[in-house]
Amino acid sequence: MTRNPREREIIKILTGIFGKRSRFPLGFNDDVAAIPSGRDSWIVLKSDMLVGSTDVPPGMSLWQAARKAVVATVSDFAAKGVRPLGLMVSLGLPGSLGRRGIREIGLGLGRGAKEYGCPVIGGDTNQSSELIIDCLGAGEADPRKLVRRNGALPGDVVAVTGEFGNAAAGLRLLLSGKNLVLSKNQSLRDAVLLPKARLNEGLALASIGAVTSSIDSSDGLAWSLHELARASGVQISLETLPIAKEAVRFGDAYGVSPARLALYGGEEYELVVTIRREALARAKRRVPSLITIGRVLKGPPAVSAIVGGKSFSVAPRGWEHFRRSF
């Protein structure tokens, strides 16, 4: 039986048809697209689609889903150190959705837009069989300051803007119907229902001029590390795993590996960056939540870890559409 292509295979097929972005400065594999608008200025664009059946777990309200759609778009701008200036939003709405539901979606979009200072300036609406929210963000950047994926160098430090695992743990509680347990743990609940984009942190890191590569972790920490390694042609060696204490407690209580939650969960929206070693102290002063987790080594692209005296290879796995759904 022929297997249907998954998300990254689909992207490869389509980009092969479209050809290289020869006239544009960023390739298809970076977090955003850029169009030169002057010698010292790029227009930066990013679109991100939220689909009800795959991106909205049971228990998430329409308000929370709409806000999450904004967060997902802003997170990619954060990874580049670019402030989004406005959003165009296209909505696919089920015919059964009433005025109350439409208003709830609008309020969620408005809340996200206000949080990150990027107002909704237009868009489109259409009828669809399920909820679809597609956000297109636009910003402007100095090309010398925008942080790409492909600049990591041997000797750089690998760091993240926060701990991992809470979103994966919270999602497991939602899917298992343990809403009462989830309601008593604000960290797990907020990680799933009220995620945050690290925009201020991304802007601060980009401003020091020492971040050599960056990516957002919405597809999972492990996958994000592999993306940086592949784009930069380097190896990444982890010396610690940034596991949230709540995820550790969840793993102990329900027999789930906390390391697996942190590495392969996805939907975290932290930033994964490489920084020149001599600038690490300065970066931590600007972003106190920054956690050093490893280093960049010379060699073919790969991600490995030596944690607690144990050495293991980190598999290139993470969230991928067309593979699973809620």
The confidence score (pLDDT) of residue 2 equals: 57
How crowded is the C-beta side of 110, counted as CA atoms within 13 Å? 6
Which residue do the tokens 């402007």 mark? 140
The confidence score (pLDDT) of residue 21 equals: 56
- 21-45 pLDDT, tens digit per residue, is 556 778 777 889 999 998 889 999 9
pLDDT at residue 324 above 60?
A: no
Supply the pTM of this predicted model.
Answer: 0.91
State the pLDDT confidence band at 72, using cuts at 50, 70 and 90.
Answer: very high
Pairing of strands 291-297, 33-38: unpaired
pLDDT at residue 323 above 60?
A: no
The confidence score (pLDDT) of residue 219 equals: 92
Mean predicted confidence (pLDDT) in 220-241: 97
State the pLDDT confidence band at 13, using cuts at 50, 70 and 90.
Answer: confident
The pair of structure tokens assigned to 139 is: 């910003």
The confidence score (pLDDT) of residue 322 equals: 42
pLDDT at residue 326 above 50?
A: no
The per-residue pLDDT of the chain, averaged, comes to 91
The confidence score (pLDDT) of residue 325 equals: 43
Q: Which domains does the chain have, with CATH numbers?
A: 7-141 (3.30.1330.10), 157-313 (3.90.650.10)
The pair of structure tokens assigned to 21 is: 């972005």
Mean predicted confidence (pLDDT) in 137-154: 95
- 168-208 pLDDT, tens digit per residue, is 999 988 888 776 566 678 889 999 999 999 999 999 999 99
